[in-house]
Structure 1
Amino acid sequence: MHLLIVGATGTLGRQVARRALDEGHSVRCLVRSYKKAAFLKEWGAELVQGNLCRPESLPPALVGIDAVIDAATSRPTDSLSIKEVDWQGQVSLIQAVKAAGIQRLIFFSILNAEQYPHVPLMEIKHCTELFLAESGLDYTILRCCGFLQGLIGQYAIPILERQAVWVMGETEPIAYMDTQDIAKFAIRALSVPATLRQTFPLVGTRAWNPYEIIRLCERLSGREAKITRMPLNLLRTVRRTARWFQWGWNLADRLAFAEVIASGKPLNAPMEEVYTTFGLDPAATTTLETYLQDYFSRILQKLKELDYEKTGRKTASARKAQ
């Protein structure tokens, strides 16, 4: 199958591209920068320059495509706003896909998006879901809630470097999932008719709160975490302040997501029927424990090797000095 993947340089998109290539699909990636997407070309993907916020760049990228997988979303550091990328850009893509005569589109959304109309990203994701449902396309919506990959920068690295781990006092448990496992569902959806015009949650094996993750990281790393608690009211103040500056609008909208993880509702969902529909084995899903254990094992081994090399160089220098 000839696939166009949008957002392929992102944390999730790159895993979707990798999985699609591994399963023998022909992959084209819509990218803003050839330089930043060079690794995709090395993997075997075709690169075409374009931008969701430039609708005229979309039709050429869709020529000869059988299905589109949309993993694009704005980033806090982007110059473009959430509204420009996650709403206007997505609408342009859906319209371009339909105009090109392509019927199949897979879209990544966020779990429980409809429950938070006051949170910009959630409201926009939900509106995009509704727009896609009314488009007439054979869509599949996959609703994620958190990536295991994000835990490295949030917890693992600060603990290893003896830096502060920031935790909101009222954070609810989240069922994080490995992006490689999410990619499996996305590619499998292409060949499972039961996924047409359906919406599915995609969550990990269990929901974890921050303190459980911190304790696990402490045990695996052998180091004690320095926890700094941030009251939700302080985060709201930062958000309001950021709204005063144009450069802070995107950041402020992202900070609003804190309202979701402090809502009193765990980000989790039952997955039994999802695994059955997709024909995937739940036992093959990466657990948070396994993911972090693998990370710390590799990092600690690397640190030991570096320390050994450093000690060896010192010993050699001492011998030369004698």
Structure 2
Amino acid sequence: MTLLIIGGTGTLGRQIVKKAVEEGFKVRCLVRNRKKGNFLQELGAQLIYGDLSIPETLPLCFKGVTSVIDTSTTRPDDIKNLNEIDCDGKLALIRVAEIVKVKRFIFFSILNAEKYPDIPLMEMKVKIEETIKNSSISYTIFRLAGFYQALINQYAIPVLDQQPIWTTAESFPLAYIDSQDAATICLKSLLIKNSVNKTFFLGGPKLWVSADIIQVCEKLSGQKAKLKFIPIAFLKFVRQFTNLFEWTYKISERLSFVDLLEEKNNFSQNKLSLYQIFDLNEKDFLSLENYLQEYFERILKTLNDLNFEQTSKQRDLIV
């Protein structure tokens, strides 16, 4: 089976590439810049030039391809690329996949995207979902809440550097997942008939709020976090004025995501379908506690080693 992976250099994409090669799949990665994708070639993937903003470059990428895995996502404030890549480019990708009759198209979307049509990225995700579902392609769609990896810059590093963490007082739970676990489930879906033409919520076994994540980071780092609270009502108030001026447009796009903080999901019901069809249980997932523990152990060891080297150099100078 030959896989064409879109977004292979991203957080999730690189994990899918690595695991797919390890499991014996032939992996082809669509890349615009071969230099940036060299590490994928070192993992065992074949690099092929293709640009979603230039649809005519896509057909040749599909030669011999069995399935497509699309993990790519443009930044939510990059409106130009949202239109060219996440909309026009993805629509062209689906058309080619339909013409060559790929056996499966796996698409990664965002949880509850259909509830936020005012957010361009969400609107694009929903449009692509609907296009795939209305095509003749067999598909599997995964809707993500968030990755553990994103929490490092958001919480872990600020705690270590004693930098303020900006958070909302009204914190709602999200089911974060490790990107490696997401990659495992993605590839498993290619072998499970019951996953065909279905949409799944893809999240970890536990719900997390900001306060709990910060508490874990404090415990593992041995440092107290510096918190700065922002009421959601204030963010909404600010958002009302950011559309008035052209220079504030990107700020407005980012603030649009404050609505997601108020979204409450039926977590148990959403994960039940995934767990049953994929024969999963909580032990199959890396816990956030263990993920953060591994991160802090590596960082603290590195810091201790650096301190030891600096101390040794200072002693040598004194001698």
**Is the TM-score greater than 0.5?**
yes
What are the equivalent positions in structure 2 for 1:38-53 lying under 5 Å apart?
Answer: 38-53=38-53
What are the equivalent positions in structure 2 for 1:91-240 lying under 5 Å apart?
Answer: 91-236=91-236, 237=238
Residue identity opposite 2:148 in structure 1: L
For the structure 1 residues 126 and 243, does the alpha-carbon distance in structure 2 shift closer, same or farther, using more than 3 Å as the test? farther
Q: Within 1, Cα distance between the matches of 2:14 and 2:189? A: 17
What are the equivalent positions in structure 2 for 1:260-279 lying under 5 Å apart?
Answer: 260-263=260-263, 265-266=264-265, 268-270=267-269, 271-279=271-279
Note the alpha carbon deviations across 1:202-231, whole angstroms, 9 max, x for none: 111111111111111111100011111223
For the structure 1 residues 111 and 77, does the alpha-carbon distance in structure 2 shift closer, same or farther, using more than 3 Å as the test? closer
Give the Å deviation of 1:293: 0.9
Note the alpha carbon deviations across 1:225-250, whole angstroms, 9 max, x for none: 1111223355442685377437x656
In structure 1, runs of 5+ residues without a counterpart are none
User: In structure 2, the residue corresponding to 1:257 is in which secondary structure?
Assistant: helix
Residue identity opposite 1:4 in structure 2: L
Give the Å deviation of 1:117: 2.6
Match of 1:37 in 2: 37
Match of 2:246 in 1: 245
Note the alpha carbon deviations across 1:40-81, whole angstroms, 9 max, x for none: 011111111211121111101111101000001102575733
User: In structure 2, the residue corresponding to 1:12 is in which secondary structure?
Assistant: helix
Question: Is the contact made by 2:79 and 2:120 (CA closer than 8 Å) also made in structure 1?
Answer: no
Give the Å deviation of 1:281: 4.5
Match of 1:301 in 2: 301
Q: Within 2, Cα distance between the matches of 1:216 and 1:245? A: 40
Give the Å deviation of 1:256: 1.4
TM-score (norm 1): 0.92
Note the alpha carbon deviations across 1:155-177, whole angstroms, 9 max, x for none: 00011001111102223111100
In structure 2, runs of 5+ residues without a counterpart are none
Q: Within 2, Cα distance between the matches of 1:66 and 1:86? A: 22
Match of 1:290 in 2: 290
Residue identity opposite 2:84 in structure 1: E
User: In structure 1, the residue corresponding to 2:95 is in which secondary structure?
Assistant: helix
Residue identity opposite 2:242 in structure 1: T
User: In structure 1, the residue corresponding to 2:80 is in which secondary structure?
Assistant: coil
Q: How many residues align?
A: 317
For the structure 1 residues 243 and 223, does the alpha-carbon distance in structure 2 shift closer, same or farther, using more than 3 Å as the test? farther
Q: Within 1, Cα distance between the matches of 2:145 and 2:268? A: 10
Residue identity opposite 2:81 in structure 1: S
Residue identity opposite 2:67 in structure 1: A
RMSD over aligned CA atoms reads 2.1
TM-score (norm 2): 0.92
For the structure 1 residues 243 and 174, does the alpha-carbon distance in structure 2 shift closer, same or farther, using more than 3 Å as the test? farther
User: In structure 2, the residue corresponding to 1:69 is in which secondary structure?
Assistant: strand
Question: Is the contact made by 1:28 and 1:45 (CA closer than 8 Å) also made in structure 2?
Answer: yes
For the structure 1 residues 91 and 78, does the alpha-carbon distance in structure 2 shift closer, same or farther, using more than 3 Å as the test? same
Give the Å deviation of 1:273: 3.3
For the structure 1 residues 77 and 302, does the alpha-carbon distance in structure 2 shift closer, same or farther, using more than 3 Å as the test? farther
Match of 1:21 in 2: 21
User: In structure 2, the residue corresponding to 1:24 is in which secondary structure?
Assistant: coil
Are 1:56 and 2:56 an aligned pair?
Answer: yes
Q: Within 2, Cα distance between the matches of 1:82 and 1:251? A: 16
Question: Is the contact made by 1:113 and 1:125 (CA closer than 8 Å) also made in structure 2?
Answer: yes
Q: Within 1, Cα distance between the matches of 2:244 and 2:125? A: 21
Note the alpha carbon deviations across 1:276-312, whole angstroms, 9 max, x for none: 3123443120111111111111111111111111111
